[in-house]
Amino acid sequence: MNPIILALFDVSIFILLAEILSSLVQKHSLPKLIGELLAGMIIGPYALGSLLNQLVGFSLISINSYIEFLAEFSVILLIFASGLEHGIAPIKSSGILGSLGATFGALLPFFAAYYFYMPDFGLDSSLILGAAMGATSLAAVASIIEEEKLKGKGINFMVSAAAVDDVVDLLLLSVILAILQGTSTSVTSISLKIITLVVIWLIILTVSVILVPKITDRLSDKYIEEFPLAVLFGLTLLMVSLGYSPIISAFVAGVAFANSIKSEKIKEISNILLSVFGPLFFVYIGAEVNFLTLNLNTLLLSLELTAIATIFKWLGIFPFALAYLRNVKAANTVAFGMVPRGETGLVIASIGLSYNALNLEEFEGIVFMSLFTTLIGSALFKSYAKKHLTS
In a domain, 13, yes or no: no
- % of the chain at pLDDT higher than 70: 91
In a domain, 85, yes or no: yes
CA distance 106 to 291: 29
Spatial CA neighbour of 296 closest among 350, 374, 361: 361
CA distance 306 to 308: 6
**Banded model confidence at residue 343, pLDDT cuts 50, 70, 90:** low
- In angstroms, the Cα distances linking 218 to 234, 257, 260, 356 are 19, 13, 10, 50
Burial class (CB in 10 A: 0-12, 13-18, 19+), 384: middle
Sign for the pseudo-dihedral over CA of 378, 102, 342, 72: positive
Q: 109 with 130: CB under 8 angstroms?
A: yes
Q: 276 with 78: CB under 8 angstroms?
A: no
In a domain, 355, yes or no: yes
**pTM of the entire predicted model:** 0.73
CA distance 156 to 203: 22
pLDDT tens profile 174-231: 777 777 766 555 667 767 777 777 788 888 888 988 899 999 888 888 888 888 899 9
First to last CA, the chain: 54
User: What is the total count of domains within the chain?
Assistant: 1
In a domain, 12, yes or no: no
78-92, 238-252, 373-387: which has the minimum mean pLDDT? 78-92
Q: Is 348 left (phi over 0), alpha (psi -120 to 50) or beta?
A: alpha
DSSP secondary structure string, 89-106? Answer: HHHHHHHHHHHHHHHHHH
Instruction: Look at residue 359 and give its three-state secondary structure.
Output: coil
Range of the domain at 119: 71-279+293-386
In a domain, 321, yes or no: yes
In a domain, 298, yes or no: yes
Instruction: Look at residue 47 and give its three-state secondary structure.
Output: coil
pLDDT of residue 183: 59
Spatial CA neighbour of 334 closest among 379, 381, 295, 290: 381
pLDDT tens profile 37-74: 888 888 888 888 888 888 888 888 888 888 888 888 88
In a domain, 391, yes or no: no
In a domain, 162, yes or no: yes
Average pLDDT over the chain reads: 82
pLDDT tens profile 259-281: 888 888 888 888 888 878 888 88
Under DSSP, the state recorded for 46 is T
CA distance 318 to 310: 12
CA distance 68 to 41: 16
- % of the chain at pLDDT higher than 90: 10
**Banded model confidence at residue 368, pLDDT cuts 50, 70, 90:** confident
DSSP secondary structure string, 286-318? Answer: HHT--GGG--HHHHHHHHHHHHHHHHHHHHHHH
Among the ranges 13-22, 269-278, 288-297, 333-342, which has the highest mean pLDDT value?
13-22
Please enumerate, as own/partner, the contacts of 327-331 that have beta carbons within 8 Å and a separation of 24 or more. Answer: 327/388, 329/384, 329/387, 329/388, 330/153, 330/154, 330/388, 330/389, 331/154
Q: 340 with 378: CB under 8 angstroms?
A: yes
Sign for the pseudo-dihedral over CA of 58, 60, 62, 66: positive
Neighbours of 191 (CB within 10 A): 11
pLDDT of residue 234: 92
Residue 305 has pLDDT above 90, yes or no: yes
Sign for the pseudo-dihedral over CA of 377, 380, 383, 389: negative
CATH number at residue 168: 1.20.1530.20
Q: 76 with 278: CB under 8 angstroms?
A: no
Q: 176 with 131: CB under 8 angstroms?
A: yes
